[in-house]
């Protein structure tokens, strides 16, 4: 039986807008396919075991919570950079996304990031809030992703590759037309909502990448499609609502 170890970093601090639902989705979609899942929550001063992690998740948080997390992350900065560099799968949402970058500058204060992604974030005057739709092309599939964003930060992704193109909403900075970053197996995005229950195809891409990373190409043999009728219908409703109102 295949096993995936999912590490959830600081769910006590980075937990906005139902981010925990992302973990529930990953877990269920494995269980439904007969894949065993271990979820390891890293809280307080405990340390992640990245050598045995197949998928690392970081959720979103307020500026205050990000500051608390930032000091903890600096102790494991090298381990996380090595993990990402060697193809480890990471899913990071909003505050977690910003923390993967070089820094998040909030007026006079700067939160140091992990430098996994070469991106810089600056807090703007107002917050970018609302529902969002993206167009993504990943692993030979082109599909739409729906979600919700609420961030003060504007992220300059410089030469990194975006996760998707914004069809409706703000995205990385409200003007570039791009959202998130996809680098190797690092998926970073401003989308809450939560992201994965609303977009099961993205959850499956993450799981498949984690299985291939762990077991090689044969890792996804037997990884069949699931019936996602309700999710697809809900996504269509949001797309209809957001893309036809202009
Ligand atoms: N505190 C960050 C910002 O406002 C991230 C917010 C979030 O995770 N939703 O930009």
Residues 6+ apart with CB under 8 A from 53: 5, 6, 7, 40, 83, 88
Pocket test for ligand 1, best of 18, 60, 93, 190 (most atoms within 8 A of CB): 60
Model pLDDT, residue 246 = 58
Whether the ω angle into residue 194 lies within 30 degrees of 0, i.e. cis, is yes
Domain containing residue 184: 3-243
CATH number reported for the structural domain that contains residue 24 in this entry:
3.40.50.880
Check pocket membership of 101 for ligand 1, CB cut-off 6 A.
Answer: no
Q: Which residues are catalytic?
A: 94, 192
Model pLDDT, residue 206 = 98
Check pocket membership of 151 for ligand 1, CB cut-off 6 A.
Answer: yes
Please tell me the distance from the alpha carbon of residue 81 to that of residue 93, in angstroms, as a whole number. 17
Please tell me the distance from the alpha carbon of residue 89 to that of residue 67, in angstroms, as a whole number. 24
Please tell me the distance from the alpha carbon of residue 7 to that of residue 42, in angstroms, as a whole number. 7
CA of 97 to the centre of ligand 1 (A): 9
Low-confidence residues in the chain, pLDDT < 50: none
Among the listed residues 61, 81, 48, 69, the one whose alpha carbon sits nearest the alpha carbon of residue 20: 61
Could you tell me the pTM of the whole model? Answer: 0.97
Residue-by-residue DSSP string for 62-95:
-HHHHHHHHHHHHTTHHHHHHHHHTT-EEEEETH
Model pLDDT, residue 237 = 97
Check pocket membership of 29 for ligand 1, CB cut-off 6 A.
Answer: no
Model pLDDT, residue 183 = 98
For residue 96, which atom of ligand 1 is closest to its CA?
Answer: 8
CA of 196 to the centre of ligand 1 (A): 18
Model pLDDT, residue 54 = 98
Check pocket membership of 61 for ligand 1, CB cut-off 6 A.
Answer: yes
How many domains in the chain? Answer: 1
Check pocket membership of 16 for ligand 1, CB cut-off 6 A.
Answer: yes
Model pLDDT, residue 18 = 86
């Amino acid at each position: 039986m295949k096993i995936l170890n999912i590490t959830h970093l600081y769910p006590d601090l980075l937990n906005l807008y139902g981010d925990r639902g992302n973990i529930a989705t990953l877990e269920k979609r494995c269980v439904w396919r007969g894949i065993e899942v271990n979820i390891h929550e890293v809280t307080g001063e405990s340390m992640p075991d990245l050598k045995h992690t197949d998928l690392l998740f970081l959720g979103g948080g307020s500026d205050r919570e990000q500051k608390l997390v930032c000091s903890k992350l600096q102790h494991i900065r090298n381990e996380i950079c090595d993990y990402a560099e060697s193809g480890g799968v990471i899913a990071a949402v909003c505050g977690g996304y910003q923390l993967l970058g070089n820094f998040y500058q909030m007026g006079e204060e700067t939160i140091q990031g992990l430098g996994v992604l070469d991106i810089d974030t600056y807090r703007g005057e107002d917050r970018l809030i609302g529902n969002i739709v993206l167009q993504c092309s990943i692993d030979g599939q082109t599909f739409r992703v729906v979600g919700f964003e609420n961030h003060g930060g504007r992220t300059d992704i410089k030469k990194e590759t975006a996760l998707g193109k914004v069809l409706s909403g703000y995205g990385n900075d409200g003007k570039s037309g791009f959202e998130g970053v996809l680098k190797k197996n690092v998926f970073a995005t401003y989308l809450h909502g939560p992201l994965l229950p609303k977009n099961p195809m993205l959850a499956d891409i993450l799981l498949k990448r984690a299985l291939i990373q762990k077991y090689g190409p044969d890792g996804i043999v037997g990884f069949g499609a699931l019936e996602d009728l309700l999710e697809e219908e809900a996504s269509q409703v949001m797309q209809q609502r957001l893309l036809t109102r202009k």
